[in-house]
């Protein structure tokens, strides 16, 4: 098969790395890719939001399957355009992608089908939003309805903070059009889990779990980020909990969308809060998480191409019982540019990646990287590398990943030193 992966982050590097290992992969492209992805795929200089050019490339190059990594092309309708052109796509339609593209759409859908989630209200009027805040407990969560690059969530500790967030969003000052409609939710406290399920529009199966580390600093301090590291599986995950999540959170949504004639195809990523031992939905995403995907691809023992193709072509039932996982846990440590998630320098030189890659059972996935004319690796983003390892225990896995990270020479970068510590403590009681 000829395959096109859309995206340029660590998630897409991990997907390309595994897809390239498939016996059924004839030719692998990635648009636009990064300096690491070029080792396993041919890079195509097309942005993820250029739906016309991506569709034309897929038609002109006899692409059999397009794997859509980030949320932007999904919300813009890339999967629909490809389907109209007779090309299989792993990813939901534009309407189905509203599960991530619109917080209000997601909350209303969950309410219709009895999916347990935080109490909420939807608002476009400032006065009505403030009245809702007055009637509810603090802290309270203010969310921009649309896509805001992972930054459209404010946990307000006081009424003044909540009022300011509402004013900033609904006037368009904070997140532009994404914030001109908002969702206000009750605050849930507990342990978070990232849970993944695959669907072909009819059937749905679990596809692993992870635990992300969102804060920039050790011990979960500092600003929220897109993710500073992940472990898989989530330490709390058991067969019983997986069954609860599927029956209460995942299957009702997939079945409900099918009944409403908006079948969901692709990966459904549930952000879950464990409250008093029970799973409560925080949000849905319609793509693999980053850095969670890096840990999932490290643990996946089956051919990912067979799995993604089955989702895209409605044949998941034929292969769902063949999917196998490594028993060993995986850890991903994100190296980011100093200053992230605030302002940071770009085009700083990174060396030592090839040495880190020699660490046993370890792969360095690139995210915000490019290569200069002399072949040197440069940082061009906030989150830049994802050092990912697996081993027979969480303790050994952590040690291996940090051993690899220490081999990378990048003075302008930083990483947390405690990725996986919570899981280690959980396993040891």
Per-residue pLDDT tens digits for 271-315: 999 999 999 999 999 999 999 999 999 999 999 999 999 999 999
Q: Which residues 6+ apart lie within 8 Å of 403 measured at CB? A: 359
Fold exhibited by the domain 330-427: 3.90.600
**Homologous superfamily of 191-322 in CATH?**
ATP-grasp fold, B domain (3.30.470.20)
Q: Give dist(CA 4, CA 424) in Å, integer.
A: 38
Residue showing tokens 């909990």? 241
Instruction: Name the percent of the chain in helix, strand, coil, to the closest 5.
Output: 35, 30, 35
Q: How far is CA 118 from CA 34, 79, 185, 211, 423, in A?
A: 38, 30, 6, 20, 25
User: What was the pLDDT predicted at 152?
Assistant: 84
Q: How far is CA 202 from CA 195, 257, 351, 360, 391, in A?
A: 19, 10, 47, 40, 35
Distance CA 342, CA 280 (A): 31
Do 191-322 and 330-427 agree at the fold level?
no
**At 127, phi and psi to the nearest 5?**
-65, -45
pLDDT of residue 277: 92
Phi-psi map region of 86: left, alpha, beta (phi>0 left; psi -120 to 50 alpha) = left
Coil, helix or strand at residue 78: helix
Coil, strand or helix: which one is 288?
coil
Q: In what order do the strands lie in the sheet with 369-371?
A: 349-350, 377-379, 369-371
What does residue 269 show for φ and ψ, rounded to 5 degrees?
A: -105, 110
What the block records as the tokens of 3 is 């395959």
Could you state, in order of their start, the residue ranges of all structural domains in the chain? 2-91, 125-180, 191-322, 330-427
Weakly modelled stretches of the chain, pLDDT under 50: none
Residue 100 contacts residue 150 (beta carbons within 8 Å) = no
Joined together, the tokens standing for residue 161 give 């903070």
Question: How many other β-carbons are positioned within 10 Å of the β-carbon of residue 379?
Answer: 28
Name the one residue in this structure whose structure tokens are 């342990």. Answer: 191
Place of tokens 């605050």: 187
Task: Considering only CA atoms, give the Rg of the chain.
Answer: 21
Pairwise CA distance, residues 289 & 69, whole Å? 9
pLDDT for residue 147: 86
Which residues, 6+ apart, have CB-to-CB distance to 238 below 8 Å? none
Q: What's the pLDDT score for residue 144?
A: 92
As a whole number of angstroms, the distance between CA 163 and CA 159 comes to 6
Query: What's the whole-model pTM score?
Result: 0.96
pLDDT at 416 (0 to 100): 98
Q: Which fold has domain 125-180?
A: Dna Ligase; domain 1 (3.30.1490)
Residue with tokens 């959980």: 426
Q: What is the distance between the alpha carbons of residues 67 and 3, in angstroms, rounded to a whole number? A: 8
Distance, in Å, from the CA atom of 8 to the CA atom of 32, rounded to the nearest integer, reads 6
CATH 3.40.50.20, applies to 2-91: yes
* Residue 215 near residue 223, CB atoms below 8 Å: yes
């Amino acid at each position: 098969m000829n395959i096109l992966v859309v995206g340029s982050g660590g998630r897409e590097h991990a997907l390309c790395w595994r897809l390239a290992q498939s016996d059924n992969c004839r030719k692998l492209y990635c648009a636009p890719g990064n300096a690491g992805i070029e080792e396993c795929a041919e890079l195509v200089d097309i942005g993820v939001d250029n739906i016309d050019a991506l569709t034309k490339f897929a038609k002109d190059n006899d692409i059999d399957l397009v794997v859509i990594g980030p949320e932007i092309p999904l919300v813009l309708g890339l999967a629909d355009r490809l389907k109209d052109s007779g090309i299989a796509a792993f990813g939901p339609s534009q309407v189905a992608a509203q599960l991530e593209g619109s917080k209000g759409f997601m909350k209303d859908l969950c309410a219709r089908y009895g999916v347990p989630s935080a109490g909420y209200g939807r608002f476009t009027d400032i006065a009505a939003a403030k009245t809702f805040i007055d009637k509810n407990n603090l802290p309270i969560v203010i969310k921009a309805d649309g896509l805001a690059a992972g930054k459209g969530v404010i946990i307000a500790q006081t009424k003044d903070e909540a009022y300011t967030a509402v004013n900033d969003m609904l006037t368009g000052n904070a997140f532009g059009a994404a914030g001109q409609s908002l969702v206000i939710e009750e605050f849930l406290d507990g342990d978070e889990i990232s849970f993944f399920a695959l669907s072909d529009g009819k059937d749905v199966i679990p596809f692993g779990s992870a635990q992300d580390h969102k804060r920039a600093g050790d011990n979960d301090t500092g600003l929220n980020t897109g993710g500073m590291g992940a472990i898989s599986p989530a330490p709390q995950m058991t067969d019983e909990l997986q069954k609860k999540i599927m029956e209460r959170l995942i299957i009702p949504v997939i079945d409900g969308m099918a009944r409403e004639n908006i079948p969901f195809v692709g990966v459904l990523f549930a952000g879950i809060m464990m409250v008093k031992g029970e799973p409560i939905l925080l949000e849905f995403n319609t793509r693999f998480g980053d850095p969670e995907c890096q840990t999932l691809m490290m643990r996946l023992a089956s051919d990912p191409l067979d799995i993604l193709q089955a989702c895209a072509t409605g044949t998941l039932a034929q292969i769902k019982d063949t999917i196998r996982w490594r028993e060993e846990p995986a850890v991903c440590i994100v190296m980011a540019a100093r200053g992230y998630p605030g302002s940071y320098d770009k085009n700083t030189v990174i060396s030592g990646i090839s040495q880190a890659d020699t660490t046993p059972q370890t792969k360095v996935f690139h995210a915000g990287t490019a290569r200069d004319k002399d072949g040197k690796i440069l940082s061009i983003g906030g989150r830049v590398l994802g050092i990912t390892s697996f081993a027979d225990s969480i303790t050994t896995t952590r040690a291996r990943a940090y051993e690899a990270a220490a081999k990378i020479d990048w003075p302008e970068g930083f990483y947390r030193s405690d990725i996986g510590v919570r899981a280690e403590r959980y396993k040891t009681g």
